[in-house]
Structures are given as C-alpha cells and as structure tokens.
Amino acid sequence: MAKDKKDKDKTEAFLPPGAQKGAIRDNLEIACFLIILIMFFKTFVAQNFTIPSASMRNTMMIGDHLLVNKFIFAVPQWNWESALFPMRKVERGDIIVFRYPMDRNQDYVKRCVAMSGDAIEFRNKRLYVNGEMITGPWEHHVLGDISTDRSAEPEPGPWPPGRYAGYVEAPGSGGFSIWPYVDPEVQRTNQQGMIPVMGGFRDFLGPVKVPSGHVMAIGDNRDNSSDSRYWGFLPVDHMRGRPFMVWWSYREKGTDYENANVPDGPVELLQNYWDGARNFFRWTRWERTGHMPR
C-alpha cells in the first residue's frame, strides 16, 4: 500500500504546471476561442443578413436569410491574397450589400446597375446606360396601385419600350425637375449622411454621369424601392459584400408582401424568435433553401 502511494506521488510530481486546470477554465478557453473564431468569420469571411422589405422582389423575398460573401469586393494588399481568394471589383449586374449612405448603421441590398463614368438616364421608367437600354427578368414593375393594394405582385421583365410598365408620371411633376445629386458638393457631403434626403424623381432622369468612386444601386422592384434614384450615388467604400446563398426563407406574418419587423431591443428580438419557432414549418419557403440569387 505504501509503495502504491509513493508511486502515485511520484507520477503526480511529473505533471506539467497548469495541466490540471479544471472544467471551468477549460470551458472558458473553448468559449473564448469560439467567440474569436465567429468574430473573425463574421468580419472577414461571411455574415448573415435578412431581407426586411420588398425592394428586391422577386429576386429576393421578404424574410430571405442570406449568407453574404464579405471579402469578394475587398482590395488585396498582397499578390497571394488575390491568388488565394476570389477578390474582384464590383461589376454591373452584381447584387450588393452596403451601408446606407444616409445612415451607415443600416445595411441595404440592391443591384449595381452603373459604374463610375457611366452615363445613366431614365425615360418612361426604363434605364439606359451609355445610351443602351438595360432590362431583363430581374427588373420588376407593379402594374397595380401599391398604395391601395399592398399585395399587388411585381411582374418580371424584360420591359421593352412597347410593354406597359404601369402609370408613368410626367417629368418633374412628382419629383425634382433638376436632380439634386448631380451637384459635386452634394455628392461629397450627402454620401456621409450630413444633409437630409432632398427628394427624387419618378420616371425621368438625366442623362447624368456617375462620379468617380461611386456606383448606382437600384432595387429590382422598381416601383417599391428607396435607392440611388432618390438618395444619390453610392460610394464604393460603403460596400459590405455580395449575397451568395439563401440558407433560410421565412414568410414574415405569413405573407410574401408584408415587411418584416426589425427588432428594437431584447423583448422584440425574443418575440421574433418565438414567432419563428411557432410558425417554422408553416411559413418557411422550403423551395428557396439553398437558392443562389442572381
């Protein structure tokens, strides 16, 4: 018996210092490592975003939960970065997530339709870039009156000039006859949220040139989107990333057209979780799981 105790003491003496840390310390180290890993992934790799409004219907639906590639538009510092990661500049047609210039605490998702130096023009709701009309199945118009019928469905394009795209308002009758965002001083100040939105236009604009260091971002649901047509050009340094997959799509309030609630505080956040849990099977759009928006 004495020999066994002596052998045990001798074995314990050879344990390295700190080897017996205890369960609490072990779990804290694991938790800290996971937090650092999640923060790194969220900051530099990908992040979840939720679509709260109808500005991109039907390309993206209210309640779509997106994984957003956050490094694709990054500027590489070394050659090995561009060789290892698929980094590139934003291109026409890209769906982009960005900080809203008028309130950079908010994130918006739109489609980039014009680059720096492009001449853009709107005539009868149609977009022209460098003199060429740009349309396709992603462009949607609501032919009904969304002010009285919120469930009016957006109709997909293309929208050639001969196709009826809903009521067209005469130039300058409902917005500004002179678009305020062509002023270089406004371009410098307005993009940082220093002056209020000064209005916009309805169905006619330009031609105007996209200034250096900016792009034009427009929602696919053209009749129900607050975008560059109304708050000016988007600085490229406001880019957050590009959506690459819908990992879950959930019908907020059980419909396709009612805007989602943006939780304000922990109580509303818990309410959102509770609603999602109760209606998970009824309101999930199973057919959109894994969908890659284009």
260 touches 63 (CB < 8 A): yes
The span from the CA of 16 to the CA of 1, in Å, is 26
Domains recognised in the chain with CATH numbers: 46-288 (2.10.109.10)
- pLDDT tens string 157-170: 999 999 999 888 88
Going by pLDDT thresholds of 50, 70 and 90, the confidence category of residue 180 is confident
The rounded mean pLDDT for the chain is: 81
Helical residues (DSSP H) of the chain, grouped into ranges: 2-13, 23-40, 79-84, 184-190, 228-231, 266-278, 280-283
Give residue 68's pLDDT band: very low, low, confident or very high (50, 70, 90): confident
pTM of the model: 0.79
- Residue-by-residue DSSP string for 45-113: IEEEEE--SSTTTTTS-TTEEEEEESSTT---SSHHHHHHS------TT-EEEEE-TT-TTSEEEEEEE
Give CA–CA dist 52/103, Å, rounded: 16
pLDDT tens-digit profile of 135-146? 999 999 998 776
Q: Which residue has the higher pLDDT, 223 or 48?
A: 223
Backbone φ, ψ for residue 173 (5° rounding): -80, -30
Share of the chain above pLDDT 70, in %: 75
Taking alpha carbons only, the member of 178, 181, 185, 241 closest to residue 43 is: 241
